[in-house]
Structures are given as structure tokens and as C-alpha cells.
Amino acid sequence: MSTPLLEVDDLRVSYPGRGFRARPVDVLHGVSLTLGTGETLGIVGESGSGKTTIGRAVLGLVPARSGTIRFAGREITRAATKERRAIARDLQVVFQDPYSSLNPSLTIGDILSEPLVVQGVRASDARARVRMLLDRVGMPADAVHRLPREFSGGQRQRVAIARALAPEPKLIVCDEPVSALDLSTQARVLDLFVDLQQQTGVAYLFISHDLAVVRYVSHRVAVVYRGDVVETGPAQIVTFDPEHPYTRKLLLAAPVADPAEQAERRAARQRLTS
């Protein structure tokens, strides 16, 4: 078996407690997971489960109390700022809110070309790549001259995805990338994620509270509950026939179009809870 692109081993993260002399709050209690090249690992759980903290730890946005994180064979658990810059090309992120993650005062062309110029790409080559990226994510060519506020939420998220793709990364951490979008727009953006992975071979660490979303895009799924991974496995098994009671509750909590089936799910979830 080839070496995983991302290895998280016994990761523990704590946040400062509230109030003077308050004890730190343990958020992750020893999370371990792996992600292969070109693979999508969905991380699913309720708000406060710790799923977003996993992604933030991989990105170096929160410090690990213990454990190790290896990316492309390189330990990055406590990487310094300079070392983080060195791996930024290969490790990118798409955040939840497509508007707040884009500089409102810059044109789309400047937003997309900025990371390329920082890496030493010539301005003319950067402009050409920006046009290619916009075409790849289904944005009009004249978007380079327009500001983020001139686009819908789904279009802004396409720009955010294009920005993450600009340096040709090996891994993109996707933190609830479609939860702020309406259902029809969610479907189009999820299709875009799948298509781009097939075209580029990029891997995704896809974080969401929605089992249906992670089922659609993921090869494997890890379920997080109160700071622990309680179930992992192929997406089709974990999201259709889960073993852990918590995963079954998540499945039963997912809405369906049939009112009768929805009522049955609600009753089954209440039985699991009681």
C-alpha cells in the first residue's frame, strides 16, 4: 500500500477554558485518520463534535496538544510559519462562507492571481491561468474585472474553489463548503467538486454536518462524536448502513421528501435517544 497523503495519529487538541484559572477544554481526544492521494475523506458530525477542529489543526490554525500530523510524508504538527508557507502550495482550503473568505475590495482576477504572483509566477502567465481557472469552474470570462459582491453565493464559492485550485494543490480542506448555499446551488457545487477531482487528482478532506453531502462526494467517511472518531468506512456503507448508534441517529435526522418516511425516521430517532 502506498504512503497516505495525509496521516493524523492520536491527535489531541484543547481550547482555553472560560474564566480565570479555568481548565482547558479537550476538543479532540486522540483522533487518527488517513487520506490517500486523489481520495475524498468525508468528516461528519454535529456542531461542536470537533470535526472542524480536525481541519483547522491540519491547516495549522489551532495547535495540537499531542499527536502527529504528516502531510506528503512530512511532519507538520508544529510547523513554523516559514515551513507552513513552503507547503501552502500543496495544502489549500475552501471555507464555509464564500463572501467573507474573498477580499471585497479586490476584483476576481486579482483574488485569483495573487497566490500565483506570490509564488513567483509571471503576471502574464498568472492572467492566463486565471482565465483557465474561471472556465474550469464555470464562471464567465468577464468575471476577472468584477468584484465578489456582483455574484451570487454559489458563484462566489466557485471563485473560492478556483482560488484553492490556483497553485495546483495535492489536498484541499473543505470546511462546510456548501452549507451556506441553497439546495439547488449545493448540488451544482458538489458536482463541481467531483468533476474537478476527476480532472486534477486533488484530494479533499471534506467536512460537513450533512450525511447526504458527504455520501455524494466521499470515498470514505469518518464520523466524529464529542471529539472521537466513532466510525469509519466506505461512504456507501457508513451513510446507508451504519453500525454506531450515533451515526444511525445522524442518518435518521437527515430529511427526506416523503412525509410518511420522515415520520418513521423521527419515531426511530426518538427510540434511539430514549
CATH of the domain at 38: 3.40.50.300
What gap in Å lies between CA 197 and CA 192, rounded to an integer? 9
Q: Are 81 and 160 in contact, with CB atoms under 8 Å apart?
A: no
Report the run of H or E that residue 266 belongs to, with start and end.
Answer: helix 259-273
Specify the pLDDT at position 180. Answer: 85
Q: What cell does 196 get?
A: 474537478
What gap in Å lies between CA 169 and CA 146, rounded to an integer? 25
Q: Is 158 among the domain residues?
A: no
User: What residue ranges of the chain have pLDDT lower than 70?
Assistant: 1, 254-274
Specify the pLDDT at position 18. Answer: 83
Q: Is 95 among the domain residues?
A: no
| Bridging pattern class, strands 91-94 and 74-75 | unpaired
User: Range of 51's domain?
Assistant: 6-90+167-273
Q: Is 220 among the domain residues?
A: yes
CA torsion sign for 136, 138, 144, 149 is negative
| Number of residues that make up the chain | 274
Domain count, the chain: 1
Q: What is the pLDDT of residues 226-254, one digit of tens each?
A: 999 999 999 999 999 999 999 988 887 76
Q: Is 174 among the domain residues?
A: yes
Nearest to 225 by CA among 44, 42, 23: 44
Cell numbers 450515533 correspond to what residue? 246
Q: What is the pLDDT of residues 103-120, one digit of tens each?
A: 999 999 999 998 888 888
The pTM assigned to this predicted structure is 0.90
Nearest to 172 by CA among 217, 129, 130: 217
Q: Is 104 among the domain residues?
A: no
> How distant, in Å, are the alpha carbons of 98, 134, 155, 185 from that of 152?
9, 15, 5, 10
Nearest to 70 by CA among 146, 144, 156, 4: 4
Q: Is 110 among the domain residues?
A: no
Q: What is the pLDDT of residues 180-196, one digit of tens each?
A: 888 889 999 999 999 99
Q: Is 111 among the domain residues?
A: no
Nearest to 51 by CA among 248, 215, 178, 221: 221
Nearest to 203 by CA among 219, 221, 185, 222: 219
Count of Cβ atoms closer than 10 Å to residue 223 Cβ? 26
